[in-house]
Amino acid sequence: MTRPTGGRCPRPWLHFSAFTPIFSHFLTLCLVGLWLLAASGCGDSPEPVDVTPRDLFRTRAPKKAPPVILLVGDSLSISLADTLDGVLNGHGSRLFRLGKVGGGLTRPELLDFPQALPELVRNHRPDVAIFMIGANDAMPLVTADGTRVLFDSTPWKAAYAAAAARLMDMVLAANPKAAIFWVGAPPMADRTLSAALRTVNAALREACRSTPPCRFIDTWETFSDAEDAYTPTARDLSGALIPLRTGDGVHLTDAGARRLAARVISATGDALPIPPSPARDTLFAALTEATPVPQATAAPPPSDEGPRKHVVQRGETLASIARQHGLAPDALRRANKGLDPKKLRPGQTLVLPSGGDGP
């Protein structure tokens, strides 16, 4: 072996620099130990602290995504959807609609719900499905095999319940865990129609019984007085009268739509998670701070004073004006030739067509 020049062999393991990290850690531990020893002898002994690690390996449930909501129905459902959209906006939930003014299960010529619904549920797989169909269905029903059954007959009740259950089954085929709600029709100013809608609502209740995920939401009491009769008006806490229904005795005012939406939200529980907000407070005030007052149950008499008119107010749109008067937006536009819905201005006068297109 050749020795290095310059005298003795270097021994790196004896160099102080090799021990510096070890001495540094050792000295730190000694100082910490002395400090703890001194602290333990001063005053009362501290309570032992449990520093055992917890929940290190527990699998945490993923954060629940906001629900996908589907609302299907006639013009009353459209008012409901507009109002729900206002309180759901900004909370992550997605609301999809399938609605038709005058639509119903007995009126496929306007909108064939069984034909239109499958693609919608396949594309969006709703977590919550809300149906509000029935206000236009007090009429004969043509079954899938082409048989025409008369309204209020025993075959009609069974066939109508089966048709409603078929729609709910379409939702469950796309999402077996979906929550389903069917909103019953409210009373109407016309006594004959109101009596017929009790039959429709009874058939819908039966449809929900045959489809266990479904829950029927009764709105009759929400829009009737203490005698269970139709009323278009409620009184708030200040004593002021609030119109809930439009002049046709069928459709809802904005206050009526808020009352309906609050009723639906309260009945759906956690299915529609709407956090506290001023919009939510306004919504529920229409339900909890207003009491329907008795009114004569009769359809409003026809007017002999010529066509009705509406003066546009700030912030109104063609759709909101049509909703106030129980009209379809297209009918209102046709009654005002040359009207550009995008250029409505406060003070502008619109002619209101006579009659509506049904709920």
CA distances 104 to 9, 75, 96, 98, 109, Å, are 103, 10, 18, 12, 9
pLDDT given at position 16: 46
Burial (Cβ within 10 Å: 0-12, 13-18, ≥19) of residue 200: buried
For the segment 84-109, the average pLDDT, to the nearest whole number, is: 89
68-292 under CATH 3.40.50.1110, yes or no: yes
pLDDT given at position 193: 94
Q: What does the alpha-carbon distance between residue 253 and residue 154 come to, in Å, rounded to a whole number? A: 35
Average pLDDT, the chain: 83
CA distances 193 to 25, 248, 355, Å, are 90, 13, 16
Query: Does the CA dihedral 242-246-249-251 come out positive or negative?
Result: negative
Domain borders along the chain are 68-292, 308-352
Q: Which tokens sit at 168? A: 């709910």
* Architecture category of domain 308-352 in CATH: Roll (3.10)
341: helix, strand or coil: helix
pLDDT surpasses 50 at 299: no
Q: What is the per-residue pLDDT across 192-207, written as a single tens digit (0 to 9) for each?
A: 999 999 999 999 999 9
pLDDT surpasses 70 at 125: yes
Q: What is the per-residue pLDDT across 239-291, written as a single tens digit (0 to 9) for each?
A: 999 999 998 899 999 999 999 999 999 999 888 878 788 888 988 999 999 99
Q: pTM for the full model?
A: 0.69
Task: Report DSSP letters for 253-307, one per residue.
Answer: -HHHHHHHHHHHHHHHGGGS-----HHHHHHHHHHHSEEE-----SPPPPP-SSS
Residue 37 CB contacts under 8 Å (≥ 6 apart), including other chains? none
Q: Is 68-292's fold the same as 308-352's?
A: no
Q: Which of 71, 76, 101, 73 is nearest to 251 (CA)?
A: 76
pLDDT surpasses 70 at 100: yes
